[in-house]
Amino acid sequence: MANSFRHGNVKIANEILEQLAIRACKEVNGVYNLEDSSVTTNHKDLEPKALVNQLDEKINIDLTINLSKNVNVRKIVKEIQENVKRVIESMTGLTVGRINVNVGKLEI
């Protein structure tokens, strides 16, 4: 994704945007986070994942997350969407169009 400024252009790789989205997901209480888990084995497949694409000057983000037990799914998903949008737009100046959240697992 690219932004134009007075002194030139700035291009931000999709991978950077994906990392920002994942970090913003992890900030929301209730998202399963390997660092917070008492499980000692490597469960990298439980970590949030993000995919970013551009459509009409806006970026769309597809997130796949796992939630911790005893959470209000609807409330957590809304918080994730708001936090990801806020983080991406404030750190990059890009406009976020849609944030689609797929809940892969609910830890029980």
55 strand-pairing partners: 58
Model confidence pLDDT, tens digit, residues 8-19: 887 889 999 999
Band of residue 1 on the pLDDT scale cut at 50, 70, 90: low
Cα angle vertex 61, ends 55, 67, to 5°? 165
Q: Give the separation between CA 35 and CA 40, rounded to whole angstroms.
A: 10
Rg (CA), the chain: 15
The secondary structure element, H or E, covering residue 85 is: helix 73-92
Model confidence pLDDT, tens digit, residues 22-69: 999 999 998 876 555 555 445 566 789 999 998 888 999 999 999 988
CA neighbor of 51 nearest in space, from 27, 82, 21, 30: 21
pTM of this prediction? 0.83
CATH superfamily of 13-106: Cation efflux protein, cytoplasmic domain (3.30.70.1350)
**What would the two tokens of residue 86 be?**
């806020």
